[in-house]
Amino acid sequence: MTMESLLRKITDYKWELPKGYKPGMKVPAIFYINRKLMEILERDAVEQAANVATMPGIQKASLVMPDVHVGYGFPIGGVAAFDADEGVVSPGGVGFDINCGVRLLRSELKVEEVRPKIKELIDALFVAVPSGVGSEGRLKLSDRELDEVFVSGVEWAIENGFGSEEDRECCEENGALDGARPEVVSKKARDRGRTQLGTLGSGNHFLEVQYVAEIYDEKAAKVMGLEEGMVTVMIHCGSRGLGHQVCSDFLTVLDRAVRKYGIKLPDRQLACAPINSREGQDYFAGMAASANFAWCNRHIIAHWVRETFQKIFGMSEEDLGMRLVYDVAHNIAKFEKHEIDGKKKLVCVHRKGATRAFGPNSKEIPEKYRKVGQPVLIPGSMGTPSYVLVGTDKAMEETFGSTCHGSGRVMSRAAAKRKLRGNAVKANLEKRGIYVRATHGALLAEEAPEAYKKSDDVVDVVHRAGISRLVAKLLPLGVAKG
């Protein structure tokens, strides 16, 4: 059976898997996808989306973005909202890298000023921001300091001399999610995170120096301070080993909760608990603590990026003008009010490999962006474009204010390493004028552009579907990888 015969077409960019597809589905699954991407849509990802649709308290639909691929329990690229009273909370709907997200800095530098120094700059950034599996940063936090980070997020960084109050205002949730409780974070998770603030991590995480290649929406770009030829920096990372351990710890707890509360699930990886249960509340509190750690982590990295630019270009912070455009999370669960059946309702929205995309006039976004919508940051894959978009009213109506988060893998890391060689990937990128520095060559093979869907195809779907709108295209000059 082909995907096109399995899914019912609503528009060229929106398809439905009916709720009768699998016993127990309470809602349909809605896929934001086109025929081209449907050709590489994994059948297991379809099954996962259908499984999510069976979960207690799910609202409207199990939603799937065009960068979808198979994940743990939920598909990566999945969005699901659960009734705040009768629904569940699930680690599988958030992912292991809690609050993996993206931060974008703009600058007053032009591409012609930076290109001649790109190797020196990337090498300096590679030293300034530690990266890779188990990497440790310049900071080692006490338990008291960790507790403060868990609760206050970027505020801890600002109070300790990293970044500014203006930065906090341009973070989703102002850089701190309510509901964190440090006491639910295990000693093992604390020990993994204690030395990792200000580090990049491994895998698809990166620090990329880019430039604005094209503007699609002049008004929105002007509000964000973006102009053609301007150099930008994109930071992509999350909560490091701490968030991974918190997820692992609570999967064990919630696996027992499924049996305790008599929840029937088609897949054990969907382990969950009622939102109002002790287990559900404890998981949310640990997830929020990890999310706040991640926001603080990106905040400190951004500070060291600014310091490095000042050193390499011999310019003051004021002259560089490296302001934060926005910081978005794409592995998180949050309580939000959305209109369902004509009424505003409090729901717990799980976004796993999906980005919040709130439309114009949303009170939850900075005042300066309310006329155009929330900035949405979609990273490419090393040699491919990244994009800046804005959220829309249609996203608020259809997707709980959500859109895609990146390119989405089409090749496993193991398959990429079998097929590609890191030195060849690096040489090919350098032929195109992109300088790459990584901890080891195998990582470049795992994260090669060929291992991912084309970011152009993914953002084209969400733009044409109307759940976010294109503002600017960013092209890479140099990349530091973990």
Query: Could you tell me which CATH number the domain at 3-410+452-481 has?
Result: 3.90.1860.10
Among 247, 245, 244, 243, CA closest to 296: 243
Among 433, 444, 325, CA closest to 381: 444
The stretches of 82-178 forming alpha helices (DSSP H) are 111-114, 118-128, 143-152, 154-159, 165-169
Residue 5 confidence (pLDDT): 80
Q: Is the pLDDT of residue 298 over 80?
A: yes
Q: Is the pLDDT of residue 17 over 80?
A: yes
Residue 407 confidence (pLDDT): 80
- Which of 205, 299, 350, 405 is catalytic? The answer is 405
CA separation for the pair 84, 1 (Å, rounded): 37
End-to-end alpha-carbon separation of the chain, Å?
40
Q: What is the pLDDT of residues 108-143, one digit of tens each?
A: 999 999 999 999 999 999 999 987 666 677 889 999
Task: Locate the domains of the chain by residue range.
Answer: 3-410+452-481
Residue 283 confidence (pLDDT): 98
Return the number of other C-beta atoms located less than 10 Å from residue 10's C-beta.
13
Q: Are 358 and 119 in contact (CB under 8 A)?
A: no
pLDDT: which is higher, 64 or 441: 64
Rg (CA), the chain: 21
Distances (CA, A) of 244 to 129, 287, 294: 20, 10, 11
98-107, 198-207, 307-316: which range is least confident on average? 198-207
Residue 409 confidence (pLDDT): 65
Strand locations in 302-352, DSSP E? 323-329, 331-340, 343-352
What would the mean pLDDT of 397-406 be, rounded to a whole number? 97
Q: What is the pLDDT of residues 30-51, one digit of tens each?
A: 999 999 999 999 999 999 999 9
Over the chain, what is the mean pLDDT? 94
Q: Is the pLDDT of residue 451 over 80?
A: no
189-203, 363-377, 392-406: which range is least confident on average? 189-203
> What's the predicted TM-score (pTM) here?
0.95
Q: What percent of the chain has pLDDT over 90?
A: 83
* Residue owning tokens 């609570």: 250
Residue 132 confidence (pLDDT): 63
* Token pair for 227: 């102009």
Residue 447 confidence (pLDDT): 76
> Is 244 marked active-site?
no
Q: Is the pLDDT of residue 152 over 80?
A: yes
DSSP structure class, residue 451: G
| Residue 39: exposure state from Cβ atoms within 10 A (0-12, 13-18, ≥19) | exposed
What band does 147 get if pLDDT is binned at 50, 70 and 90? Answer: very high
Among 238, 208, 204, CA closest to 446: 204
